[in-house]
Structures are given as structure tokens and as C-alpha cells.
């Protein structure tokens, strides 16, 4: 199971993130939104997750097929359009691949785990449902037990 914890203090809007097996990341907003640009913003992290998953999945597939794929470059962009958002992903392959192999890799990119998760509207819990509150040493905790579909 994937796992991440995000913590913010009093510095706008610097967030310390612990993900996976104790990997430390930072996130922030740019100056235009009141942050100090000390790390990628939330949508940059979303794009990073999709890009990393795409690159890893395509590398695994090419290795299994023993194709001469030397590198995969994945450029992911998110653009907010009113209440909606659009994600664009551009792939570039380095290696002596034929047209059929390139087409197959592009097809596989549409079925990476993160791509499928984003499209499937997974259920997720938040404080909007039944929640329990805990208080320890000056900090309050909320445990949500409700789940609702991910997305708007």
C-alpha cells in the first residue's frame, strides 16, 4: 500500500512530506500564491507521480520484451481550466525501436497503474464522513472512516 504524510507549520506554504519507506520530500507554492517556491507544488507532484509511473512501467515492459529501449522521457503538464483540469503527457523514446514497438509503448502508457487509478475514481476517506478526534501534546488528530470517490 502506498503511504505519505504531509505536515505544514507556520511557514506559508512549506510542507514536509514523508512518503514510502521514509523518503523525505518538500512541497510549497510559488510566490504568486504566497509561498516561497521551496519545493514542487501539489500539481507538480501529481505530474511527477504520473511521469514516474509511466517511465517505470514502460521500462519494465521493454525489459520483459527485451526491446532496445535506452531511455524514456515523459513530459507531463497539468492545466487548470475553470473547475476542470487537463493533463497532457508527451513520450519520447530513445533506442532502436521500430514503429510497432513505439506504438505499443504508447498504448501501454495509457494503462499504467497511476493512469488507471486516476481514471477509476477510487474511494477515499476524509473528515467529511464520520471522524474521530484525538488530542496528544497540543496536537489534534482526525481519523476519517468514510470513503467517497476521488475527484470532483
Domain 41-120 falls under CATH 3.40.50.720: no
Secondary structure class of 53 (helix, strand, coil): helix
- Please list, in sequence order, all residues whose beta carbon lies within 8 angstroms of the beta carbon of residue 66, skipping any fewer than 6 positions away: none
User: What contacts 24+ positions apart, CB below 8 Å, involve 8-15?
Assistant: 11/36, 12/36, 14/38, 14/39, 15/39
pTM of the model as a whole: 0.79
Angle between helices 42-65 and 113-120 in degrees, nearest 10 = 130
Q: Do 78 and 85 contact (CB within 8 A), yes or no? A: yes
17-55 pLDDT, tens digit each: 999 999 999 999 999 999 999 999 999 999 999 999 999
Burial of 126: CB neighbours in 10 Å, binned 0-12, 13-18, 19+: exposed
91-124 pLDDT, tens digit each: 999 999 999 999 999 999 999 999 998 888 777 6
Domain residue spans of the chain: 1-39, 41-120
Q: How far apart are CA 115 and CA 57, in angstroms?
A: 11
Amino acid at each position: 500500500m502506498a503511504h505519505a504524510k504531509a505536515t505544514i507549520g507556520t511557514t506559508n506554504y512549506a510542507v514536509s512530506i514523508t512518503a514510502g519507506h521514509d523518503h523525505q520530500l518538500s512541497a510549497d507554492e510559488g510566490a504568486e500564491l504566497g509561498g516561497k517556491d521551496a519545493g514542487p507544488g501539489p500539481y507538480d507532484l501529481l505530474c511527477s507521480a504520473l511521469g514516474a509511473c509511466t517511465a517505470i512501467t514502460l521500462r519494465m515492459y521493454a525489459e520483459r520484451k527485451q526491446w532496445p529501449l535506452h531511455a524514456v522521457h515523459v513530459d507531463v503538464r497539468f492545466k487548470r481550466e475553470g473547475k476542470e483540469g487537463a493533463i497532457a503527457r508527451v513520450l519520447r523514446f530513445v533506442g532502436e525501436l521500430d514503429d510497432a514497438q513505439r506504438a505499443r509503448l504508447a498504448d501501454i502508457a495509457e494503462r499504467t497503474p497511476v493512469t488507471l487509478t486516476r481514471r477509476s475514481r477510487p474511494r477515499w476517506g476524509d473528515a467529511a464522513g464520520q471522524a474521530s478526534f484525538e488530542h496528544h501534546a497540543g496536537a489534534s488528530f482526525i481519523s476519517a472512516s468514510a470513503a467517497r470517490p476521488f475527484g470532483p
